[in-house]
Structure 1
Amino acid sequence: MTATHADESAARALIVRTARSLFMRGLTHGSTGNLSVRLSDGSLLLTSTGSSLGTVEEAQLSRTDLSGRHLDGPRPTKEAFLHAAFYRARPGAHAVVHLHSTHAAAVSCLDDVNPADALPPLTAYYAMRVGTLPLLPYHAPGDNALEPLAEQTARTHHAVLLANHGPVIAGATLEQAADAIEELEETAKLHLLLRGHTPRPLTPEQAAALAPTSP
């Protein structure tokens, strides 16, 4: 699969394969989480509202334009506006993943999180795949009042954490976005395991040397 996901049929298969992998490995649950790719014509292929990533089928995917307008297929996820905001902000992004993964969601509920960077760079792979992680203030799921802030933040960060909710990550490909969000979840788990201890994260210089390039 190329970065442009030009083949819609292949893109549909990739979304379903990735969705089921994320679900089966416990990175999301129930009907939570949503995935999308940007097709070569500029439209977005997304999981639909109410669908479970564990059972979603290719025919159940939705298509919207970059403004979030529904083009065809079932009704898209109510968080389609978040995907559209990331794509508008990041022309090099061709995939977006949003999950309610347990440890990242737990971090998003903590009162002492740094809103400019919700997780420390505990590992080199986190620094490479995620970098800094702004925490966006709480909005109810589907509240499109979050859209302008998400778009503004996505211009400078390919990953964000939604307060009391979960992470959103854009990537050049769906594989890259899924790898990055999994790395974020594992780092959130490490962060919680280390609470009460004195961690030794990467130095700012070490983290900067590994910072991801912009998709």
Structure 2
Amino acid sequence: MPNMILSLAHFCDKHGPRVLLGTQFAADGDSLLLPDYATETVCESCSIHFPNNDTSSGSIRTRLRSRDYVSTNYPVVQYHLISSVIRHMFSEETMTYDSAPLSFFDQSKGLNLVMGFKIPDTDARGDERRYALLLTINSSDHASAMKLMSRHWEFTTYSFKKIIDYIKQRRDIELRRSFAQNTPREFTPMGGTYLKGNNFKTPRNLAQLTNDDLLFVRLHKWNTFILDVLNSDDK
């Protein structure tokens, strides 16, 4: 099977295009585990959060069908490839944020399937934060990569859409909860904003925006399931 990576990326107001979570696989996942790094250099928007404010680990690993699936804040292997793909897709004029699928290929970036989306947040530039789910098939064999993607197009796009819908629904619930508590920093449920004059744009983590302490654990499990299905392709 070709090397595949599933990523959640976002456009940080401070740092530009960044990986939030990357899921890779290997027979032995030790090489994919994230080494210790200075987390204070990473803003809230660019970091992942684990339950109970656990900061002791930057990696999640699942063993499934003789493979290790490892999710990290950024991919240890092929970091430069994914960073290049993310910079390209966020600068692509055809990139949309309505969950419509977009695919592109070149020899240096491989075959990529991306679905962009955005969620409201008055603490972000333009009062919204932009994200994208990305499947990268890192293979110079365009034909075989296209065959793999075409066989699983409906499954992958449907799975991406379910993940996006979950995140957006959780954000909507959090907005309504904040509005009910008269929190002035949030949007109203009808889509307007409180205090439009607020010019303070602060980084906020996706787990906080959705009020879901388990969000990145869920993303790891969903990514693992998707990659496992793609890896089961023996045609």
Larger Rg: 2
- Does TM-score exceed 0.5, indicating one fold? no
Higher strand share: 2
TM-score (norm 1): 0.28
